[in-house]
Chain A
Amino acid sequence: MASQETPVSRRLKLIKHVIIVCSGKGGVGKSSVSAQLALSLHASSPTARVGILDVDLTGPSIPRMLGLAGHGVHQSSEGWVPVYADGAEARLACMSVGFLLKKKDDSVVWRGPKKNAMIRQFLSDVRWGELDYLVIDTPPGTSDEHLSLLEHMALVHDRLSAVIVTTPQAVALMDAMKCLSFTRTVSLPVLGIIENMSGYVCPCCGEISNVFSTGGGEDMARRENVPFLGSLPVDTELVTLLDAAEGAEGKDEKNSAQPNESAERSFRLLARYQRTSSADLMKPIVDVIMGTLPLVESSAQQP
């Protein structure tokens, strides 16, 4: 085995579990679920060490969602230093192509091979250190990024698992099904399906509207014999939180000069997140994930 060691496997040796968040469809909430998962795992224990890697290279959302837009990556003798969402505590490490851009509105126009190289570098050159969980946010589809991830992590395949996010509409479920077929083809164990944006409570009269329908995710899970992790209704507070994560006081950019201050402020993000109704619903989902991870991984090791 030692001879097979790669720069990626050397880094990933220190990482206990890797959770890949995916969905065939765009905009169903992969990035927001990844961010919530990372926050909830961080909060699950005072010593939990979590990483979040954003491999959506042409549409990175994680920096914004975690209030870290404008931060940059530094280089050290042990590799690139990730951006820590919790500042000095350094238990929530983030990496995204968004941190490498000089101007945030620049488009990254890359074909597959460049994406492949970047993902390899994210896995081999980032000083993740010891992590209990590495959450990976992916772009929609089943293409270069997904294939590259699996290829580069082949040596740690027994520590990989996936969470599939969908919304309730048929068009989304169809793509979620494709995503599930993908996980089966590449033998990636699935922790379960999350149905996002399922129902909306009118803030005025309290009536529940199924703005994007409801229930399809659970049906799919039952039909396909995959665990159903839960439903997350439309939460407008969450949208605002993830949108303006720089803090209610607004203006971003200028904060980037004082990383500590803005890191601290962004970690008020966790406190604010914990006050949303989504956080309460996410907690049992995260408990199930933490509980099933070892089981899923050990069954993956059986030939």
Chain B
Amino acid sequence: MLAVQQPTEVPSPLSVPSNAPEHCPGTESELAGKSAACAGCANQEICASNTPKGPDPALPFIRERMSTVKRKILVLSGKGGVGKSTFTAQLGWAFAADEDVQTGIMDVDICGPSIPTILGIASEQVHSSSSGWSPVYVQDNLGVMSVGFMLPSSRDAIMWRGPKKNGLISQFLKDVDWGTLDYLLVDTPPGTSDEHLSIVQYLKESGIDGAVVITTPQEVALQDVRREIDFCRKVGIRVLGVVENMAGFVCPGCKTESQIFKPSTGGAKKLAEDMGLELLGSVPLDPRIGKSADYGVSFLDEYPDSPATTAYLNIIDRIKEILGDA
């Protein structure tokens, strides 16, 4: 017999009060009372008090470290496996191609760090000195920090709940001796959860210059990306633009292009239009990108003449232009 239970009300994950403004993050959200949309809302005080937390003691130290970092850029996507880490790495290599530009890459994907492998430094370890944890250097002007450098073996799983992940992210920002940087690129895991909230909160004061949002062309990815853009708007992060990855595949046999992840709802172009964002460019699917990532070499350097390289470089130029660094 089925035990009779008290019916529990079906919750609304967003529980938006009727008097709330349009972009209310929901009173159950971690952002309740704190998001950009909350400014001026009648409930702001009550909502903000639901999450009583004093200022994080790490904040002043983070501010100090970040004072020598010129630009902070997030690479985001609601969807998994769309190429965030690959793009972050290419962006890092491309920036660091200019030896006068100091670049840092911070990998906040705690459970699935790919950055060390993609950059070919998977066997490195983090060392600490009096000035903090020293990043692992791919080359003189490209320093990297990832939890991957802290594990005894790549087989080890990190089974952490949110607070521990947040603690590590705060350490990445306050304890790592980043030095003076022109760019700090942050690779994120998919979703809109602890890692994203933490990085936004910790960097709020120092300022985030913007986010590059990566997607693939099919609707299953786009729907998650719309949610991520909604998140950016709620927390007040500027979206620099959208990058479409794995768009179209040219058969090496017959040179015909086919769509593996067909843009059944208009792809990234339509998404960018609908959301009033710029489509920064489209990178085709090229098996050599995956190979380069697996071997830890720069695709841009290995295949300078490929259409994907051209696409990557155009996107990177456009990002610099938008930031005013071109």
Judge whether A75 and B10 touch: CB under 8 Å: yes
Complex interface residues of chain A between 36 and 87 (CB less than 8 A to chain B): 56-59, 61, 64-65, 73-80
Given the known inter-chain contacts A58-B191, A171-B85, A182-B157, please indicate yes or no for A100 contacting B7, CB distance below 8 A: no
Determine the chain B residues whose CB is within 8 A of the CB of A79 once the complex forms: 5, 7-8
B16: A residues at CB distance < 8 A:
102
Residue in A closest to B275 when the chains form the complex, CB atoms: A105
Contacts of A56 on B, CB cut-off 8 Å? Answer: 191
**Contact of A140 with B112 in the complex, beta carbons under 8 Å:** yes
Q: Name which of A235-243, A278-286, A295-303 contacts chain B.
A: A235-243
Contact partners of B259 in chain A: CB under 8 A: 236
Cβ of B206 within 8 Å of any chain A Cβ, yes or no, is no
Q: Given A139-B190, A139-B191 in contact, is the A107-B112 Cβ separation under 8 Å?
A: no
Chain B 1-27 interface 0/1 with A at a Cβ cutoff of 8 Å (1 = within) = 011110111111110100000000110
B interface, how many residues as a size bin? Answer: 35 or more
Q: How many A-B residue pairs have CB under 8 A?
A: 266
Task: Judge whether A204 is part of the interface by a CB distance below 8 angstroms.
Answer: yes
Kindly specify which of A141-149, A154-162, A255-263, A269-277 makes contact with the partner chain.
A141-149
Determine how close the nearest CB of chain B comes to the CB of A226; give it in whole angstroms: 13
* Majority DSSP secondary structure for residues of B touching A: loop
Q: By the criterion CB–CB under 8 Å, are A140 and B111 in contact?
A: yes
B129-161 interface with A by 8 A CB criterion: 154-161
Contact of B231 with A111 in the complex, beta carbons under 8 Å: no
Contact of A207 with B253 at beta-carbon distance under 8 Å, contacts A236-B259, A236-B260 already known: yes
Quick check: B252 and A140 within 8 Å, CB to CB? no
Chain B residues positioned under 8 Å from A61 (CB to CB): 220, 223-224
Of B12, B81, B161, B291, which one neighbours A26 at CB under 8 angstroms? B81
B11 near A100: Cβ-Cβ < 8 Å: yes
Which of A10, A97, A144 is B13 in contact with, Cβ under 8 Å?
Answer: A97
Residue of A nearest to B216 (CB): A27
Pairwise interchain contact B14-A24, C-beta atoms closer than 8 A: no
- Say if the beta carbon of A202 comes within 8 Å of chain B: yes
Spell out B's residues near A (CB within 8 Å).
2-5, 7-14, 16, 25-26, 28-31, 78-82, 85, 110-112, 114, 117-118, 154-163, 165, 189-194, 196-197, 216, 218-221, 223-224, 226-228, 230-231, 234, 249, 251-254, 256, 258-262, 264-265, 285, 287, 290-291, 293-294
Residues of A within 8 A of B (CB): 7, 10, 14, 24-28, 31, 56-59, 61, 64-65, 73-80, 97, 100-102, 104-115, 118, 121, 124-125, 129, 139-144, 146-147, 167, 169-172, 174-175, 177-179, 181-182, 185-186, 200, 202-205, 207, 209-213, 234, 236, 239-240, 242-244
Q: A110-B193, A236-B258 known; 8 other A-B pairs, CB under 8 Å?
A: A59-B224, A64-B223, A100-B10, A109-B192, A110-B192, A143-B160, A170-B294, A181-B156
